[in-house]
Amino acid sequence: MNNSHSILFQPKWRIIDQSNLGSQFHPLQSFAVEDTLCTTVGSGSSPATIRSWVHHNTIVLGIQDTRLPYLQEGVQFLQKQGYNVVVRNSGGLAVVLDEGVLNVSLILRETGNNIDINRGYDAMWNLIQRMLKDYNTRVEAKEIIGSYCPGSYDLSIQSKKFAGISQRRTRGGIAVQIYLCATGSGSARAALIRDFYRISLKGEQTKFVYPSIVPTTMASLSELLGKSIYASDLMMRLLQDLQHMADLLIPSQLTPEEVPIYEYNLARVVERNNKTLAKCYQV
């Protein structure tokens, strides 16, 4: 068992499944839950935790996206397409979330710098390989040029990206996060972000180089594997694999002790998001 793989094997995995909460589950609530779990896992008051969630028709922007010269017009374009727009509290660039996209976080305790960044990424890559092993396909981790939110740990099949991995480290906790495009059109999602950047840049040169998006570089797992694969299917595979990676699985929600931490975090992320996007919303 290599180092990255061993992270997946825990005495206990606490499971917080929020993938069925529907359209009323706001992305800012999701950010607050994640920060809360980083705090409690990081302090040792919660075991290692896997959280899953789905958000409907949401564009999550990165901090660099908020510096686009015509951001207001770009955000208003996305809103007219029926999308809620929020700014994440970690790195990366714009991504599309909808009911065909499953999000998963591995939340672990940082103890003595024993989990470096690549080890966290490799653990998530290994988890996805396990989940898709029945399909006898090769999942690669490499940057897919032309995709949105490109990174060295883009997950792809035949060089078409279906997932992206990020990390957030705070309060002694590490959250390794992935979005998995299960169903729907990967190229349609990419075209939406391409148009957002076109409207928000208007051809201007900026200090930060935003991605030139080529929609055909992205696809959903359903498109890549030629079978209907829904977020719920991936969630079932995740739970089945977890049974082999822990002595005990603990289905859970936030505890009474975590609720005040969550409420504090929610107020903080709402204030920060509203301040960042205040000028973008139509009056």
pLDDT in tens, 153-182: 999 999 999 999 999 888 789 999 999 999
Could you give the residue numbers annotated as active site? 149
The pLDDT tens digits of the residues spanning 95-131 come to 999 999 999 999 999 876 577 888 899 999 999 999 9
Q: What is the pLDDT of residue 117?
A: 83
Question: Is 281 a residue whose pLDDT tops 90?
Answer: no
Task: Please give the pLDDT value at position 170.
Answer: 80
Residues 6+ apart with CB under 8 A from 93: 61, 62, 64, 65, 148, 149, 150, 210, 211
Bridge partners (DSSP) listed for residue 177? 105, 166
Distance CA 3, CA 165 (A): 18
CB atoms within 10 A of CB 150: 17
* Domain 3-276 falls under CATH 3.30.930.10: yes
Average pLDDT over residues 225-243: 94
Mean pLDDT of the chain: 92
pLDDT greater than 50 at residue 64: yes
- Residue 162 is predicted with a pLDDT of 98
